[in-house]
């Protein structure tokens, strides 16, 4: 089986696949144009969030039998279309959950205590003790989770340990330790912090937009370490300018190729990162390990 690594993958996982007999080629910075040219000879491919596997690519991938998405979510893959062509599509949903949850918790602290601004002030040689002594505690505050799958539940567990009141909205009835399921409207009305943890689908596109901001408390904080496109960034900008939203922390953006939330980052109330939620040493190793297991199992069953 010929397998193409399209995005950075743990070295030990790559060697494990090779030891099992898989012919692995590593092109972890391959462009979309080059991928279209080389994919026809491969039986399997490994991608993370950077590489998009859309219908045109699938149409030219005449020998492709397996797509492995290292990480959570399949929104960068036309999974239904691939499956209709007889291609197996799998991912590693649990491997990076803790890393994304910890980044979310980190942003809670950063927003509550204005840590990035304080650091920038210190780097500029300032000592603005009074200005940065008006932060707030997380204890006793209400955190609303929109979506409560693996990552959301990891966030809930950690937020509860901080003695936060955790609410969550999910379409299906779900029992979550440390958290209470409520309607979306109730979550919007009661939360001091709102964090998004839903996949990007037709139903969740801009699940938080201008109508939802209008239902929130004044001075609410928004965090999105989930998926770009679930949050209407233009509406968020207006909500911050108006004072409705006190601040936001964003790790994902609707357009991560060109725009990358540039207008939002003209606002001092916005902090963020370049889609690094799963970017820890531990998560990379776990993702790689699961990728290798999936690839080897498929190889042994089909080749």
Q: How far is it, in rounded angstroms, from Cα 286 to Cα 72?
A: 12
Among this protein's residues, is 227 annotated catalytic? Answer: yes
Q: Which two tokens stand for residue 40?
A: 């026809």
Res 285 pLDDT > 90: yes
Residue 73's pLDDT is 79
Q: Tell me which H or E stretch contains 142.
A: strand 142-146
What is the percent of the chain with per-residue pLDDT over 90, rounded to a whole number?
Answer: 97
pLDDT at 174: 93
Flag whether pLDDT at 53 surpasses 90: yes
Q: Rounded to an integer, what distance in angstroms lies between the CA atom of residue 86 and that of residue 78? A: 13
Q: Report the alpha-carbon distance of residue 303 to residue 299 in Å, rounded.
A: 5
Catalytic residue, candidates 48, 69, 158, 275: 275
- Rounded to an integer, the average pLDDT of 61-70 is 97
How many angstroms separate the CA atoms of 248 and 238, rounded? 12
Residue 93 — very low, low, confident or very high, per pLDDT cuts 50/70/90? confident
End-to-end CA distance of the chain: 7
Of 186, 238, 256, 293, the active-site residue reads 256
Q: Are residues 186 and 63 in the same domain?
A: no
pLDDT digits (tens, 9 = 90+) for 128-186: 999 999 999 999 999 999 999 999 999 999 999 999 999 999 999 999 999 999 999 99
Mean pLDDT of 290-301: 98
**By residue range, what is the domain housing residue 219?**
97-272
pLDDT at 49: 87
From the list 69, 227, 233, 286, the catalytic residue is 227
223 plus 238 within the same structural domain: yes
Confidence of residue 195 (pLDDT cuts 50, 70, 90): very high
CATH number of the domain that 31 lies in?
3.40.50.720
The confidence band for 94, taking pLDDT boundaries of 50, 70 and 90, is: confident
Number of domains in the chain: 2
Same domain, 126 and 246: yes
Same structural domain for residues 298 and 151?
Answer: no
């Amino acid at each position: 089986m010929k397998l193409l690594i399209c995005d950075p993958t743990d070295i030990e996982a790559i060697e494990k696949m090779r030891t099992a007999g898989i012919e692995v080629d590593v092109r972890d910075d391959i462009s979309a144009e080059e991928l279209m040219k080389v994919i026809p000879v491969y039986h399997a491919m490994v991608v993370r969030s950077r590489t998009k596997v859309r219908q045109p690519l699938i149409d030219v991938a005449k020998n492709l039998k397996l797509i492995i998405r290292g990480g959570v979510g399949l929104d960068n893959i036309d999974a239904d279309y691939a499956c209709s062509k007889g291609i197996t599509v799998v991912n590693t949903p649990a491997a990076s959950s803790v890393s994304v949850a910890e980044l979310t918790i980190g942003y809670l602290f950063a927003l509550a205590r204005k840590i990035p601004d304080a650091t920038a002030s210190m780097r500029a040689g300032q000592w603005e003790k009074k200005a940065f002594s008006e932060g707030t505690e997380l204890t006793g505050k209400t955190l609303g989770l929109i979506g409560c799958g693996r990552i959301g539940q990891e966030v809930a567990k950690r937020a509860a340990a901080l003695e936060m009141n955790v609410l969550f909205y999910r379409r299906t009835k779900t029992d979550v330790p440390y958290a209470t399921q409520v309607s979306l409207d109730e979550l919007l009305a009661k939360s001091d912090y709102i964090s998004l943890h839903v996949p990007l689908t037709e139903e969740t596109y801009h699940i938080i937009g201008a109508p939802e901001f209008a239902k929130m408390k004044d001075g609410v904080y928004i965090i999105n370490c989930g998926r770009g496109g679930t949050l209407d960034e233009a509406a968020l900008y207006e909500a911050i300018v108006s004072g409705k939203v006190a601040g936001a922390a964003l790790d994902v953006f609707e357009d991560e190729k060109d725009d990358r939330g540039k207008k939002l980052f003209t606002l001092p109330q916005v902090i963020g990162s370049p889609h690094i939620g799963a970017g820890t040493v531990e998560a990379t190793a776990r993702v790689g390990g699961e990728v290798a297991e999936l690839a080897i199992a498929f190889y042994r069953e089909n080749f």
